Chain A
């Protein structure tokens, strides 16, 4: 079995940290990328579904802001359209759909500020966060070893995006209710959007639109399945889904 090691390029993290202070653009982009990762960690800790959705909105809005910054700094006008679509879809439409779903499936809990799902995980909260920090660090340093350069956005943002993806996986595995798992998947998609801003900023707009449309379709189907699930079990929990074992 042949598995050559990845070429050990000069540590790109060192390149991303120039000797003088980073420019406004690089600094701003990196700050936003880190805020996106923090939002992901926030989701991991957040116990109320209502606030979970709010964090997803904030994370999506950050993606849109980063898209606008990259568009302005690198003169890629397509990204303005992408930012507008991101706001329309991920900040407005998807949270609206999810909230309506919550209202319909759990009117009492929603009136009290959202269904309480605290303690729904298999691991303790603290160990989950520790695990998430470990995988986030792994993603961050693994990506910086890839030797990827980008003209659009700082590569540190790519490293952060892989951390977001991995933490989103932890979130989906940890949570035991269908809404959190769905939001975990959508935030995973946000992490990929962040990666795409770095390495595929000039991806033709038509493809970006196709990808977003696909996301919308997935959201609608997730909504339908959540409703079916709730209709069967009168609960959003997946703790009882143990009959089918692969």
Chain B
């Protein structure tokens, strides 16, 4: 399996370089092949990872928890890469659109590469490095359109996220200090030995490290109150990048928090880390649910929905029951598929109606024979309607909360998710079910005709919908085995 892990670290990187050198259309094909190949490679990791954790080359470690996050990232990488073929202009020769497409393909591949690298790192310091790399690459991708809004969002994003990651670095250093007291000064910050000796670690540094890590990595997860970059970056970035930011980047940063959570639980006992996550989770969910009610820009709407789901993840972990943890990990996968679908659908709306404002979009269901229903399905999935995967995962999280007599937080969760449901469905109704042409037209011109902009922008969304249905109706046995193993890792002292 070492070869598979190595290929995961090599293929997207080389694909990035190749797609930059090649003509735009060839580069996009390379990107798509690399995305699908990465997803295949991660699938190949599942059987082994469900059995045991394995280390390779001294800095790579594959276990069930990391494979769950790799699965979410590589799935989105594959679907987004295919979607980009329809989204981006091809261009010929050396004109501006060809240059844009080549730069975009380079960035997309490297972004996916860095997000696949982060969960593979065996070492807390390298994990931090990988997450910082995701920040700088994605900041450039946010800025790539070169508009005023994109420049502003990218600056805000990189400054806030880098400041947050500096706090996470401070946490990493405190964790090194805690480990060095037990393991000797020359240990490498490898995750496994720190976790194994967690019960001997000094309490105060671990506590510091955990809180700093939650706040620092939480900046990139989008936890309140350090979320302020998130809606701006998501709405100003090109749509395929928004999908990756929301479905993968936030999840990968959450992965880093989970690693610190594992150490903190083993060292401090479950109470303190869970309380910290509960406070951040409820605050994030509350803010996101309220903001969802009053949005005018549908990409910002989806961005706040991402915050909502990150809040649910944090609350789910704080419940601590195995079924809630299983729900959390399933939620990571289902959210990646659903949010990827929703953003890809929003990209079709943007292409069709030429406006990011909701009032510019009317009659989506009539004008888009495929993307309209698919977008509606994605929004319903995000609202955790059955039979989609998010229904199953949120159901498990709430069950876990009630089982561990966290009745208050479980009730708050259900109420706020319902508020979010209201916000999302009202907006989607207005955009999709209204009469075509009843809103303010984005620009004066001929009335829009029924039809899809590109078949490449429909197929990956359909694949995502199938994944959501599979996760919701009958997750395959291999996947449940993987999740059970990851839950065992997370909840070893539940």
Residues of chain A having any CB pair with chain B under 8 Å: 1-4, 6-7, 146-148, 150, 165, 169, 172, 178, 181-182, 185, 188-189, 192, 195-196, 199-204, 207, 210-211, 213-214, 217-218, 221-222, 224-225, 228-229, 232-233, 238, 241, 243-244, 246
Taking the nearest CB of chain B, how far is it from the CB of A1, in angstroms? 6
Q: A196-B173, A202-B186 are in contact. Are A244 and B275 (CB under 8 A)?
A: no
Give the chain A neighbours of B43 by CB distance below 8 A. Answer: none
| Most chain A beta-carbon neighbours within 10 Å: one of B128, B149, B173, B204 | B173
B residues 138-187 near A (Cβ < 8 Å) are: 139-140, 143, 146-149, 151-156, 158-159, 162-163, 166, 169-170, 173-174, 176-177, 180, 185-186
Tell me whether chain A's interface is mostly helix, strand or loop, or mixed: helix
What is the predominant secondary structure among interface residues of chain B facing chain A?
helix
Can you sample 13 A-B contacts with CB below 8 Å? A1-B275, A2-B275, A195-B170, A196-B173, A203-B189, A218-B136, A222-B158, A224-B143, A229-B151, A232-B147, A232-B148, A243-B149, A246-B229
Considering the chains assembled together, what is the distance between the CA atoms of A125 and B149 in angstroms?
Answer: 30
Q: Which of B173, B203, B275, B279 contacts A200 (CB 8 A)?
A: B173
Q: Is the CB of A244 within 8 A of B149?
A: yes
Contact A217-B176, Cβ < 8 Å, known A147-B204, A243-B152: no
Q: Within 8 Å CB of B174, what residues of A? A: 199
- Contact between B275 and A148 (Cβ–Cβ < 8 Å)? no
Q: Shortest 7 CB-CB distances between A and B: which pairs?
A: A246-B228, A202-B185, A244-B232, A199-B177, A221-B136, A207-B125, A200-B176
Is there an interface contact between A246 and B231, defined as CB atoms closer than 8 Å? yes
* Residues of chain B within 8 A of A232, CB atoms compared: 146-148, 151
Q: How far is the CA of A2 from the CA of B126 in the complex (A)?
A: 32
CA A149 – CA B148 in complex, angstroms?
49
The reply to whether B236 and A188 form a contact with Cβ atoms under 8 Å apart is no
Cβ–Cβ < 8 Å partners of B159 in chain A: 172, 181-182, 185
Residues in A whose Cβ lies below 8 Å from that of B37: none
**Residue B129 lies at the interface, judged by CB distance under 8 Å to chain A:** yes
With both beta carbons as reference points, the residue of chain B lying nearest to A188 in the complex is identified as: B166
CA distance A196 to B176 in the complex (A): 9
Residue of B nearest to A1 (CB): B275
How far is A233 from B236 in the complex, measured between Cα atoms in Å? Answer: 17
Task: Please report B residues at the A interface, Cβ cutoff 8 Å.
Answer: 123, 125-126, 128-129, 132-133, 135-136, 139-140, 143, 146-149, 151-156, 158-159, 162-163, 166, 169-170, 173-174, 176-177, 180, 185-186, 188-189, 203-205, 207-208, 227-232, 235-236, 271-272, 275, 279
Known: A147-B204, A222-B158, A241-B152. A228 touches B279 (CB 8 A): no
User: Do the beta carbons of B126 and A207 come within 8 Å of each other?
Assistant: yes
Q: State how many angstroms separate the Cβ of B163 from the closest Cβ of chain A.
A: 6
Whether A244 pairs with B156 at a CB distance below 8 angstroms is yes
A224 contacts which chain B residues (CB < 8 A)?
140, 143
A198 → chain B closest CB, angstroms:
9
* Cα–Cα distance between A217 and B138 once the two chains are bound (Å): 13
Q: How far is the CB of A234 from chain B (nearest CB, A)?
A: 12
Question: Closest B-chain residue to A203, C-beta based?
Answer: B176
- The distance in angstroms between the C-alpha atoms of A146 and B207, with both chains bound, is 10
4 additional contacts (CB under 8 A) given A211-B129, A218-B132: A192-B169, A221-B158, A238-B155, A244-B235
